[in-house]
Structure formats: C-alpha cells, structure tokens
Amino acid sequence: MGHTVTGRGRPRLADAKTLAARALSVLDLHGYRDCTMSDVAAEVGLSIRTLHRYFPTKADIVWGPVDTSFATLRRRLDETPIDVPLQVALRDGITASFADHDEDELTTRMRMRLIGRTPELHSHGSEPFVRWRQAITDFVATRTGSEPTALLAVVAGAAVQATTMSALTWWATHGAADDPVGVVCEALDALEVGFTASFAR
C-alpha cells in the first residue's frame, strides 16, 4: 500500500478500544480490501505480532464488540415480557442491546460503514451474520411456537437482520444526526404490518 509512517515506536494506548479506533480509521480511510494487517500495524505504530495479539484477523478489527454482542442480544430479547407483540419485542430487544456497548459514535460509524460496504464482512454466510440472524430466528420461533427451521421464522430472522443492518449502514454513511436507535426503530417499525398479518393467521 505504501503509506508513509510517522512516529514509529509503540504508541501509548489506553486500552484495546483505543487501538481499535485507530485501526478502524486506517481501514476506513484506505479501504478494507486494500489494507493488510501489516499496513494497519505500520500505520498505528505497532509490530504485526503485537497487533495480532489484539486482533487475530483483519475482520476482528471491524467486528470488534459486534461479534461478542449476540449473547447480549439473546438476553435482551428473552427479557422482553411475553405480552409484548413480536415486532415490538424484536425492535426493543435489538435497540436495547446497543446500550450494552460502550463505544463513541465516531468509532461506531466507521465500524458500520466498513461492514456495510465490504461484502465479505456482511455476506449471508459470514459467521457473525449467521450468529446474529440465528439469535433473531430462534426468538421468533419461540414466540410463535414454531421450529427455528420453520419458513416464517427463518424469513423473519433474515428480514429483521437485513433491515437493522441497512438502517445502521444508512445512519453511518449519510452523516445523519439522528440517534442510531431512532433510525433502527423507524426501519423495523416499517416491517410491523407485514409481520402482524403473517403471524396472525
């Protein structure tokens, strides 16, 4: 990639979050595909070996706390009172899980921009996406008394995931001043009529 590196030497990092923000800024500026782990290490002033201690792969830089949020999402969904309508429970559970991640808005925007514009990070078979989708699908199946492999549970899981991801990507790329929770709520609310009609049969 050939970027100029200044100020080499191990940086004074407060924690892994600080390093993640710096590494994300490199990927966001130069492009996920065009940056190697060596490029990122050079830009942030670390050896490749030290960078790998924090992030085993380049994808780990981007997914970061998102990749560890699925248990939190399941818990938030499971905590939703049983009398809350399905679509409301999904919306509230998903948006409540956002609050469990202590990350500044700028870093979150970079993270979501990178995921949204990098096909290999958000492909249908990407492991984080599979786990995210399965958490939603399992919840829908439980609430509707069906199997996780049932058609409507699978379709609902995919639709909710795609809607949430699209809303977050829009928020991250359009410079929207809106809170991401509000953007995701608006998008998920747009699905409510279809889900209500389908699951009421």
Tokens of 27: 């990927």
Q: Which pLDDT score is estimated for 16?
A: 77
Residue type, 22: R
- Own/partner contacts of 19-22, CB < 8 Å, gap of 24 or more, are 19/44, 19/46, 19/54, 20/54, 20/55, 20/61, 20/64, 20/107, 21/104, 21/106, 21/107, 21/110
Q: Which pLDDT score is estimated for 113?
A: 87
Q: Domains in the chain, please, with CATH?
A: 1-56 (1.10.10), 63-199 (1.10.357.10)
Residues 65 and 103: beta-carbon distance below 8 Å: yes
pLDDT in tens, 99-151: 777 778 888 888 888 888 888 887 656 777 788 889 999 999 999 999 999 99
pLDDT lower than 70: segments of the chain: 1-14, 65-69, 123-125, 175-176, 194-201
| CA distances in angstroms from 146 to 138, 179, 192, listed in the order given | 9, 34, 19
Q: Which pLDDT score is estimated for 42?
A: 93
Distance of CA 71 to the CA centre of its chain: 13
Q: Which pLDDT score is estimated for 89?
A: 92
Q: Which pLDDT score is estimated for 23?
A: 94
Q: Which pLDDT score is estimated for 167?
A: 92
Q: Which pLDDT score is estimated for 6?
A: 41
Q: Which pLDDT score is estimated for 4?
A: 40
Q: Which pLDDT score is estimated for 154?
A: 95
